[in-house]
Structure 1
Amino acid sequence: MELSIRLNAIASMIEKCDSVIDVGTDHGYVPIYLVQKGITKKAIASDINRGPVEKAKKNINRNNAANEISCRLGSGLSTVKEGEVQVAIIAGMGGNLIRDILETDLDIVKKLKYMVLQPVQNAEVLREYLYKTGYEFIDEEICYDDGKFYEIIKVRYDSKPKVLDNIYYEISKILLDKKHLVMKEFIEYKLHKYSKVYDCLNEDTILSNTRKEQLYYVIQKLKEFLKCF
């Protein structure tokens, strides 16, 4: 099973284990890969929509993995019982939705060894929630695939909330410390985007001036981060 750059980056963060659930399964590709490579003994491919589940079933059968992978229809982690799986992958959806899934299924989340989360947008919302709610950040990864940046977060619940400067919810401190080469490109992309917005804020209003102050701070921090590479 060949994976895209994004899915391969997700799979690479999974250590050898007994069981994994892939929430919002992408045609079942990641569970199939993890089973084929001997990274997990059992896997669950789940989705809230019937279409992806049916596609996953076909791919699982095509790859002779039906004995190791089961498909389930349902939202979030509601398709598993506490302690049924060791690891959860929640990928390919917005940061707000991933946050809501964790909130809804917190009892299950607390029993997991760790989770690999991959928001397609609003990563800063998810990262802030994770820090402030008491998750330990084990690792982070970033990749560029098909014209988009994807941030991947590996965490486990440890009930020790932390508060960081807001900039580190948007720009991963872990990836900065790694001096990740894709991170440099990501910061340059953010800097270009925010600089364009800043230059367009010409109205002399309280709202506009407040936004300009916020953006100025972010832009200066991004420039500072780029000097580290």
Structure 2
Amino acid sequence: MKLTNRLLKIASLVSEKKKLADIGTDHGYIPIYLLNENKIDFAILADINKGPLENARSEVKRNKLENKVDLRLGSGIEVLKKDEVDEVIIAGMGGILIGELLEANKEVAHSVEKLILQPMQAQEELRQYLLNNGYEILDECLEREDFRLYEIIIAKYTGKNTIVEDNIYYEVGKKLIEKKDKLLTEFIDNKIKKYNNIINKLGDKDTEAVIFKRNLAKERIEKLKELI
């Protein structure tokens, strides 16, 4: 079993000797890897679909880890009880869905020591949800896999909302800028290209809607350039 760059990076963010829950575990690769490396002693592997959970069960048996895991069928962190685990991974889902999963079981979401979140899209909406709902973003990092850059957010509930001075920091996490993530320049360049493509596709039309979209894209480009 070989982990991809994205999964290896997520695994590296788990603290040693903590009880872990992997939500949407699929084949259970991350917790199985961590158990085999003796970084953690126990993990809950959960998935909403029976097929992926059975895949995880097969991997667990193949690695002889039955006594170190609990497999659970169900939606998100609703399968967890308070104080069952210290850290939770939710990876490979949309950012809006991740926010909804946290909202569905606040008792658990608010009590764990660390949330390791890897949204596949709607990263901006997830940051906004976290910062407006009492979570602190402890760290962020970027990881390259194939031709894509993935965003990973580490958060913890503190009960205190964070006010951002500009909405651009929902799109590009402040922690990425503060730590000068090695992939930050490429990450921002990709976003600038995306907005330039939007402007090009809008063409020369001067309807009110087109003018609004064009100006919004230009404004985002200027703000992104200032971040580099």
User: Shorter-chain TM-score: which interval?
Assistant: over 0.9
Q: What is the DSSP-based 3-state SS (H/G/I as helix, E as strand, rest coil) of the residue aligned with 1:81?
A: coil
Q: 1:153 — aligned with what?
A: 153
* Per-residue Cα deviation, 1:37-64 (whole angstroms, up to 9, x for no partner): 2221100110000111000011111111
Q: 1:200 — aligned with what?
A: 201
1:15 deviates by 0.8
Asked if structure 2 preserves the Cα contact closer than 8 Å seen for 1:127 and 1:169, the reply is yes
Q: What is the DSSP-based 3-state SS (H/G/I as helix, E as strand, rest coil) of the residue aligned with 1:91?
A: strand
Q: 1:191 — aligned with what?
A: 192
Counterpart amino acid of residue 16 in structure 1: E
Q: Is the aligned partner of 1:220 residue 2:222? A: yes
Q: How far apart, in 1, do the equivalents of 2:215 and 2:134 lie?
A: 30
Q: 1:31 — aligned with what?
A: 31
RMSD: 1.2
Q: 1:166 — aligned with what?
A: 167
1:225 deviates by 2.1
Q: How far apart, in 1, do the equivalents of 2:23 and 2:67 lie?
A: 19
TM-score (norm 1): 0.95
Q: Return 5+ residue gaps in structure 1 as ranges.
A: none
1:200 deviates by 2.5
Q: How far apart, in 1, do the equivalents of 2:84 and 2:152 lie?
A: 24
Counterpart amino acid of residue 197 in structure 2: K
Asked if structure 2 preserves the Cα contact closer than 8 Å seen for 1:17 and 1:86, the reply is no
Q: How many residue pairs were aligned?
A: 226
Matching of residues 57-206 of structure 1 within 5 Å:
57-164=57-164, 165-201=166-202, 202-206=204-208
Asked if structure 1 preserves the Cα contact closer than 8 Å seen for 2:136 and 2:162, the reply is no
Query: Which runs of at least 4 in structure 1 moved beyond 3 Å after TM superposition?
Result: none
Counterpart amino acid of residue 117 in structure 2: L
